[in-house]
């Protein structure tokens, strides 16, 4: 679906983190809907490098870009030489900044702040120099265990990732005061959908439960999973929000969720209906009680007003649309 009628011919778009989950979906949105636009993808493609928790430092994967025909740059946003190249060799009209250390369990506070906050300031300076509108990924993690519904201005991050995203939002507000470019921060809630598989253990429970079921295993959930609620949002609605943020009614920080909280039990039940299975769920004690969000629900009133955003996918709709891809992944990547 096309979300704006604007002719982007002769426009140039930079997508950082463009080999990741959301960045690659953005790249294909533009390629499919605006074939005359020039798309430049920057990504620190995965190597064997890991964080101290054992997870990969970068989740960027070439398979997320199979079929992409734009320009690809392999590089790290912390590399000053890359930033000089972007500044001097291109003229961007829009910047979609998705690159980050996005692992909420990462312990490297220094790397998190350097990558998520300091490098973002450099990209804001690039946007100002090019007079390019900036759309960037903030996060629902800024709210921590704040009371639902989560509203901008009531943040309480519980990990360095959420803290780094909140610092990005504060930095953005400072730039909004002194520049004419549009700056929009999008606080994503629990995103699921195609091209997330290569996030490995940090991929959504939708695809993880789907693959458990396809393997003929009983789905494993925490006890009281019908009471653990999240605002799950399908990737198509995330793309909608990003595209509409290209020309917002007002610069600002906006929640991107459905505005509805659903349970992990709901996910399993919907998957089983779609896959026509009836495996018995297995319930495990929750070891994260006391440091675990039990309810997230985005307040999206200002998002509807500021971005003309309206979520199109209920959880049932998103999972139904996703199931064929979950099955393909299982056959081609998992088995």
Peptide bond before residue 149 is cis, with ω within 30 degrees of 0: yes
Among the listed residues 17, 18, 22, 19, the one whose alpha carbon sits nearest the alpha carbon of residue 204: 22
Q: Give the C-alpha separation, 203 to 307, whole Å.
A: 27
Whether the CB-CB separation of 98 and 137 falls below 8 Å is answered with: yes
Residue with tokens 């996030």: 199
Among the listed residues 148, 157, 175, the one whose alpha carbon sits nearest the alpha carbon of residue 253: 175
Whether the CB-CB separation of 145 and 158 falls below 8 Å is answered with: yes
Sign of CA dihedral 153, 154, 156, 162: negative
Beta bridge partners of 191: 233
Is residue 136 flagged as an active site residue?
no
Q: Give the C-alpha separation, 199 to 268, whole Å.
A: 20
Is residue 199 flagged as an active site residue?
yes
Among the listed residues 293, 325, 298, the one whose alpha carbon sits nearest the alpha carbon of residue 311: 298
In the DSSP assignment, the letter for residue 147 is P
Pick the catalytic residue from 199, 234, 244, 254: 199
For 16, the token pair is: 């950082």
Q: In a 3-state reduction of DSSP, which class is residue 303? A: helix
Q: Give the C-alpha separation, 107 to 160, whole Å.
A: 8
Pick the catalytic residue from 94, 136, 143, 161: 161
Q: How many CB atoms lie within 10 A of CB 287?
A: 9
Q: Give the C-alpha separation, 64 to 24, whole Å.
A: 6
Q: HSE-up of 64 (CA within 13 Å, CB side)? A: 27
Whether the CB-CB separation of 280 and 217 falls below 8 Å is answered with: no
Q: Which residues are catalytic?
A: 161, 199
């Amino acid at each position: 679906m096309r979300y704006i009628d604007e002719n982007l011919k002769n426009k140039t778009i930079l997508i950082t983190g463009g080999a990741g989950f959301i960045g690659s979906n953005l790249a294909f949105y533009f390629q499919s809907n605006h074939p005359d636009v020039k798309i430049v993808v920057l990504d620190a493609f995965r190597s064997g490098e890991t964080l101290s928790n054992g997870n990969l430092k970068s989740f960027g994967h070439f398979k997320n870009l199979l079929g992409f025909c734009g320009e690809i740059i392999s590089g790290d946003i912390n590399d000053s030489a890359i930033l000089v190249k972007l500044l001097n060799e291109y003229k961007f009209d829009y910047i979609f900044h998705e690159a980050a250390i996005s692992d909420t369990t990462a312990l490297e506070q220094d790397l998190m702040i350097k990558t998520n906050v300091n490098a973002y300031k450099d990209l804001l300076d690039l946007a100002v120099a090019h007079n390019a509108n900036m759309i960037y990924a903030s996060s629902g993690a800024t709210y921590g265990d704040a009371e639902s519904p989560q509203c901008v201005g009531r943040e309480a991050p519980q990990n360095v990732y959420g803290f780094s995203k909140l610092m990005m939002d504060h930095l953005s507000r400072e730039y909004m005061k002194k520049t004419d470019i549009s700056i929009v921060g999008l606080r994503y809630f629990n995103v699921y959908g195609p091209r997330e598989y290569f996030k490995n253990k940090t991929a959504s429970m939708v695809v993880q439960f789907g693959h458990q079921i396809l393997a003929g295993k009983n789905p494993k959930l925490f006890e009281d999973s019908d009471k653990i609620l999240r605002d799950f949002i399908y990737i198509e609605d995330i793309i909608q929000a990003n595209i509409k943020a290209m020309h917002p009614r007002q610069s600002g920080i906006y929640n991107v969720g459905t505005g509805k909280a659903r349970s992990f039990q709901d996910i399993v039940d919907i998957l089983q209906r779609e896959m026509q299975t009836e495996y018995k769920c297995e319930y495990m004690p929750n070891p994260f009680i006391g440091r675990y969000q039990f309810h997230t629900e985005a307040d999206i009133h200002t998002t509807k007003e500021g971005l003309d955003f309206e979520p199109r996918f209920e959880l049932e709709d998103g999972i139904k649309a996703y199931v064929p891809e979950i099955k393909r992944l299982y056959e081609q990547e998992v088995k």
